[in-house]
Structure formats: C-alpha cells, structure tokens
C-alpha cells in the first residue's frame, strides 16, 4: 500500500483484530519470520526464505521432529504441475503445513524431519487503502482491487497496477462527470470490511463499478463478468462497446459461486452495479494459485493494453447514463441556436450527397437525443436507436449540454 501510495494518494485505514464486520471477525495478524522443513539427509525440502509460498499461509508455529508418514498430512503439492509450489492458506482453522513442488515431494526419503515454523498471531490490523477523486456529480464509479496473495503476479499485482494506471489517466481527463473511488484491500474480508464501514455511502452513490483482477496474460482477450443486476450502466456500456468494436472482450454471466470481491459488492444486501474485469482469468491458466504465476507470465505490455481498453470503457461510461432534456415541451427551436438548416429546402445544388447526408444525420442525432432524454432511456439506448456508438454520439451530448438543453440526471 505504501508503494502504491507514491502514485495514488491513497488514504490508508486500519481496523483492529477482533473487530466485527457483518458476519465476520477481523482475525489476528500473522507474523512469519522463518519456516523450513529439514530432511533426515540435511536437505531443506521447503524453505520460506527461498519462497514465501513454501509455508501454508496463516500456519501456527511448530518446532517438531516428525516421521514422513505423519508429515505428509501437512504437505501440499500439485501432481499435474510437478515443478510448481502451490499457494495454500488456512485462515479460519488452526493448522500448519508446507507447500513444495511435487517433484521434490517424491524425492523425500523416509526418516525423521524437522518441521520448523517461526510464526505468531498478534493483535494487529486489517489495512486497506482508498481514494475518492471528485467529479462534477457525487455519482460514483467504484474501482476495486486486492492485495493479499504473496508472490503472485497476474492473480495479485495486475489488478493494483491497472488501478494505478487508470487513476493516472482519469486524473488527467479534461472533465469528469462522475466521482471515482479507488479501493485496495485484502480480498473477501477486506471488501466486507470496506462495505461495513462505507457500504451506506456506496449504496447511495455508486452507479457503476469494476473489480480488477488477473489483467495480465499474453494473448488473451479481456473478460467481463456481468454485475448481479445485469442491466447496470457498466453492463450496458461493456456490451455496447463490444458490439461496436470499442473493446475486445468476452462476457461471462454473474455467479456468486466464484470470483473476486464482486461477490461482496453484489451480495443481496448491497447488490451494487459492480462487474468484474479480468483477462487471464483465475482458474483458467496453469499458473493459477502457484509459483508459476510470475511477472513473466503476467506481461507488462498486456497490462498496459488492459488499462488502455478500460480507460476507453470508462470514457464511454461518462456518456452512457441518463440525461434529461431541459426543454421537453415541444421541439426545441434549433434554428436560432444554429443547430438546424435555416433554409428549409430540398435544393441540393450546394451540397454533395455525402455532405447532405452528414448534415441530416447530425440533425437526426440531435433530434433523437432531445426526444429520448426523458429519464427512461440511457444514452447507450439512444446510441443504439441511432445505430451508432456512444463514442460517436458523445460530441452531440457535449454540444447540447453546452447549449443548456441537456443535463446528466442525478439519480
């Protein structure tokens, strides 16, 4: 969090161990200093100093001599990936264990082993970082990622890095209709904690959001998991963007049975309009939750492409919402605002066919926007009715806002 704070002005909050957050209790902090598994042959079969994946996360301390047979109840490997150290945790049931490559496990000789874990559980804190970047309205776009998987790249670092890139892009935009909220917390219990402390504000303000996870991975498309409601602005924007070639994305339905923090944001008591954006999706690649999930697998240029595409989605989202025609009684007098051809004639001498079509199409877009901005049609809906992308309709929205004929509806 401190490193990311150098790039995003995160406020870092702490909730002490023992604190109650909805159905959950903040656990004690786990301090780990060293851990190894010394064989009868003097070889270290697992060594925390070499890989912090070598110890089951949240292991209780142990310092014992133990035979191989009994020890095996404390060992974790992946037979199908014999070179990988798995990532294993045991947060809510007291346990100790080691993780090691299956290839190494198969070489372990019989005999007595020294299992040593120098850990302790202390009254500490759950920390999260967040920052609210104000826009023209208090309506919020939530961007959330997590910090909790040690040493993993795609399934850990990719989310915070894209969040950081998006912050720097958005802060540079000429205008922001929406307020942007950036959140970094440990997965699951972190977002539950965040909701316990800020849920009422989120429920009031959030009009769209994205959980960012697994956004690296060479050669893969972006992959969007719909929000639980399935019809929120972010859902409409991604589907529209896909249809109009603005974003290269596959779409997954919402499910509460797996995923990231959208499971919390979309729990039935909140049901926030928050989807999830991924790329090399959790569970779908070999390196998932093991030591093969490296910076090399993640690929920085893919991260940057993810950020580029997501910036485009968010820019489209700025125009996606419900705007209101401020002069809804009869048509607006476009003529005196220079928005209508003042000579009403079918005389085509002075215009080429292309130009004429273009002028007429522009006028039609203006008439469509003014007629359908009634609070029941999103600008995505209107763009679809016009047969164009929301990107192409955006200049007309700007123009009509400038003429004080249109305003964003604050929900």
Q: Does 188 bind a copy of itself (CB under 8 A)?
A: yes
332, 380, 400, 406: which one contacts a copy of itself (CB under 8 A)? 332
The torsion region of residue 279 among left (phi > 0), alpha (psi -120 to 50) and beta comes to alpha
What's the CA angle centered on 103, arms 100 and 105, to 5 degrees?
A: 55
54, 77, 220, 378: which one contacts a copy of itself (CB under 8 A)? 77
129, 135, 199, 216: which one contacts a copy of itself (CB under 8 A)? 199
Beta bridge partners of 25: 20
Please tell me the distance from the alpha carbon of residue 186 to that of residue 246, in angstroms, as a whole number.
Answer: 32
219, 329, 352, 353: which one contacts a copy of itself (CB under 8 A)? 329
Q: Which is nearer to a copy of itself, 371 or 407 (CB)?
A: 371
Report yes or no: 193 and 184 within 8 Å, Cβ to Cβ. Answer: no
Counted residue by residue, the chain has a size of: 411
Q: Which is nearer to a copy of itself, 267 or 391 (CB)?
A: 267
Longest dimension (CA), the chain: 99
Q: Which is nearer to a copy of itself, 178 or 323 (CB)?
A: 323
Report yes or no: 215 and 306 within 8 Å, Cβ to Cβ. Answer: yes
Q: Does 221 bind a copy of itself (CB under 8 A)?
A: no
Report yes or no: 188 and 260 within 8 Å, Cβ to Cβ. Answer: no
Which tokens belong to 246?
A: 């603005």
Q: Which of residues 372-411 bind a copy of itself (CB under 8 A)?
A: 372-374
Q: Does 263 bind a copy of itself (CB under 8 A)?
A: yes
161, 192, 274, 320: which one contacts a copy of itself (CB under 8 A)? 192
For β-strands 249-252 and 222-225, DSSP reports them as parallel
Contact region for a copy of itself (CB under 8 A) — 163-171, 175-183, 194-202, 243-251? 194-202
Q: What is the DSSP letter of 73?
A: G
Beta bridge partners of 30: 121
Which tokens belong to 9?
A: 């002005």
**What spatial distance separates the first Cα and last Cα of the chain, rounded to whole Å?**
33
6, 23, 63, 110: which one contacts a copy of itself (CB under 8 A)? 23
51, 138, 197, 271: which one contacts a copy of itself (CB under 8 A)? 271
Q: Does 115 bind a copy of itself (CB under 8 A)?
A: no
Please tell me the distance from the alpha carbon of residue 76 to that of residue 86, in angstroms, as a whole number.
Answer: 7
The CB-of-89 to a copy of itself minimum distance in angstroms stands at: 5
Q: Which is nearer to a copy of itself, 271 or 391 (CB)?
A: 271
Contact region for a copy of itself (CB under 8 A) — 121-129, 314-322, 361-369, 388-396? 361-369
Q: What is the DSSP letter of 325?
A: E
Q: Which is nearer to a copy of itself, 61 or 328 (CB)?
A: 328
Q: Which is nearer to a copy of itself, 165 or 272 (CB)?
A: 272
3-class secondary structure, 382: helix
Please name the residue that has the structure tokens 């929406």. 178
Q: Does 371 bind a copy of itself (CB under 8 A)?
A: yes
* Residue ranges in contact with a copy of itself by CB under 8 A: 21-24, 56, 76-79, 86, 88-93, 95, 188, 191-192, 195-196, 199, 228, 255-257, 263-264, 266-271, 288-289, 325, 327-333, 335-336, 342-349, 363-364, 367-368, 370-374
């Amino acid at each position: 969090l401190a490193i990311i704070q150098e790039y995003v002005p995160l406020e870092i909050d702490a909730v002490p161990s023992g604190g109650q957050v909805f159905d959950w209790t903040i656990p004690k902090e786990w301090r780990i200093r060293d851990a190894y598994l010394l064989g009868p042959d003097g070889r270290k079969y697992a060594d925390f100093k070499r890989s912090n994946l070598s110890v089951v996360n949240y292991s209780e301390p142990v310092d014992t001599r133990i035979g191989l047979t009994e020890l095996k109840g404390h060992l974790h490997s992946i037979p199908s990936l014999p070179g990988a150290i798995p990532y294993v945790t045991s947060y809510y049931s007291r346990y100790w264990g080691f993780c090691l490559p299956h290839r190494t496990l198969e070489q372990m000789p019989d005999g007595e082993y020294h299992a040593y874990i120098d850990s302790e559980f202390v009254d500490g804190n759950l920390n999260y970082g967040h920052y609210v970047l104000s826009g023209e309205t208090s309506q919020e776009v939530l961007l959330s990622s997590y910090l909790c998987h040690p040493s993993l790249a795609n399934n850990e670092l990719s989310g915070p890095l894209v969040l950081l890139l998006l912050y720097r892009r958005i802060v540079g935009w000429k205008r922001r209709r929406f307020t942007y909220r950036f959140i970094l917390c440990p997965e699951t219990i972190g977002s539950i904690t965040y909701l316990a402390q800020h849920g009422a504000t989120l429920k009031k303000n959030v009009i769209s959001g994205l959980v960012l996870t697994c956004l690296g991975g060479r050669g893969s498309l972006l992959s969007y998991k719909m929000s639980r409601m399935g019809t929120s602005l972010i859902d409409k924007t991604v589907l529209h963007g896909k249809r109009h070639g603005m974003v290269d994305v596959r779409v997954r339905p919402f499910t509460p049975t797996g995923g990231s923090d959208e499971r919390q944001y979309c729990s039935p008591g909140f049901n926030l309009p928050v989807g999830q954006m991924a790329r090399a999706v959790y569970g779908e690649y070999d390196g998932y939750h093991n030591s093969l999930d490296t910076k090399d697998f993640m690929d920085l240029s893919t991260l940057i492409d993810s950020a580029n595409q997501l910036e485009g989605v968010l820019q489209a989202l700025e125009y996606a919402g419900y705007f209101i025609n401020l002069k809804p009684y009869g048509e607006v007098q476009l003529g005196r605002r220079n928005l209508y051809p003042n000579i009403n004639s079918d005389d085509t001498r002075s215009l080429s066919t292309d130009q004429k079509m273009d002028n007429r199409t522009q006028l039609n877009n203006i008439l469509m926007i003014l007629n359908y901005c009634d609070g029941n049609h999103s600008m995505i809906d209107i763009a679809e009715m016009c047969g164009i992308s929301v990107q192409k309709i955006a200049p007309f929205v700007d123009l009509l806002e400038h003429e004080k004929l249109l305003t964003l509806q604050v929900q």
